[in-house]
Amino acid sequence: MKDRAIPPALAPAYQRCREVHREHGGASYLATSLLPRERRPHVWAVYAFARTSRDLVDRPRSDPLEALPAWRHAVLATLASDAPPDPAAPPDPAAPPDPAAPPVLTALWHTQRVVGMPGDLFEDYLASLVMDLTVTRYATWDDLRAYMSGAAAALGEMMAPLFGATDPSVRPLARALGEAFHFTTVVRDIAEDLARGRVYLPEEDLVAHGVTADDLARSVASRRPDDAVRSLVTAQVERGLALYEDAGPGLALVDARSRVGLQTAFSLYREILVEVGRHDGNVFDGRVRASRAARAATVARVLRRRGR
């Protein structure tokens, strides 16, 4: 991508995207702050797009079966238009009732053109959200990975050029990294997803560990998993850490100006899985996070490596 300044007229839209990212992004927002200044707004835009889309399903303000198709139409129509929408224009009555939506679309229109992201990546991501409205279980690991190819791998591919990785050889590694990040949240959010009626962990894994959805529900209620559930979650941590091993070679393929930001995101998200391991697989007693000390140590370690 060519590093370009944000046009002043679009600055408020990007600022709104930044607020969405800062409020919800956690480790991702921290890592983005280490990117070159001119690239950060484009990460904010992609994150805000993904978050606004995801909230239509996970935190709906209206019927997601109506709001999600309306949002999909708004996104695709915006990306196909010759000019960005006015973020201050009255909201489209057919669009989802989210005050962030108009500026997100405006920023996304500009980012997509500056970065040159293929439109089918947005289609893939939105299609994965449709699955969340209709699919609540995954029989096998392959089935879950097929879902994550849209829910996560497409986002990884969107982000690659924002980190200066434009060679086609980067594509599979970028998708692998997106998958590793997403699977981290699958493990961390088992309890939250169960409350939404979803179990992302493959049924074949539950069977292998002698665990049922009712066992997971009891773990949520007691905030203390039994040995079988702990074993199941610990196995998922090991699987997630293996995904980071697969994606790791991609860190060397981004440009030097962006490497510290990506390495920080990689380390912080991986640290979440490590922390789940330290909790002996208990993801039911509040959301597991990397501690502030761990975050600070991670950033310091990455910065030291950059200085070598």
CA angle centred on 15, ends 111 and 36, rounded to 5°: 60
CA distance 276 to 288: 6
Instruction: List, in order, residues 6 or more apart from 266 with CB less than 8 Å away.
Output: 177, 244, 247, 248, 251
Residue in 266, 268, 259, 263 with CA at minimum distance from that of residue 243: 266
> Which pLDDT does position 3 carry in this prediction?
57
> Which pLDDT does position 100 carry in this prediction?
58
CA distance 34 to 61: 34
pLDDT (tens, 9 = 90+) of the chain, 308 residues, equals 555 679 999 999 999 999 999 999 888 888 898 888 999 999 999 999 999 999 999 988 889 999 999 999 999 999 999 988 776 665 555 555 555 588 999 999 999 999 888 889 999 999 999 999 999 999 999 999 999 988 888 888 898 888 878 777 788 888 999 999 999 999 999 999 999 999 999 999 999 999 999 999 999 999 999 999 999 999 999 999 999 999 998 888 888 888 888 888 899 999 999 999 999 999 999 888 776 776 667 667 766 665 54
pTM of the model: 0.85
> Which pLDDT does position 308 carry in this prediction?
46
